[in-house]
Amino acid sequence: MTAEFEKMDEFFDKRAANYDQHMQENVDDFNTFYQKIAEDIKSTEEPISVLDIGCGTGLELTYIFKKAPQAHITCLDLSEKMLIKLKEKYKNKKEQIDLIQGSYLEEDLSDNKYDYIISVMTVHHLKYKSKLMLYKKIQRALKNDGKYIEGDYVVNQKKEKQLLAEYEKKISDLKEEEGSYHIDIPLSLKTQKRLFVKSDFKDFHLLYKKGEAAIYTMMK
Q: How confident is the model at residue 1 (pLDDT cuts 50, 70, 90)?
A: very low
User: Can you give the pLDDT at residue 178?
Assistant: 57
Alpha carbon 128 to its chain centroid, in Å, reads 15
DSSP, collapsed to helix, strand or coil, labels residue 98 as: strand
Q: Tell me: the pLDDT tens digits for 150-171? A: 999 999 999 999 998 888 877 6
Nearest alpha-carbon partner for 51 in 152, 143, 144: 143
Its pTM stands at: 0.92
Where exactly are the structural domains of the chain? 2-219
Q: How confident is the model at residue 3 (pLDDT cuts 50, 70, 90)?
A: very low
Buried b (16+ CB within 10 A) or exposed e, 46-65: eebbbbbbbbbbbbbbebbb
**Fold of the 2-219 domain:** Rossmann fold (3.40.50)
Q: Mean pLDDT score of the chain, rounded to an integer?
A: 91
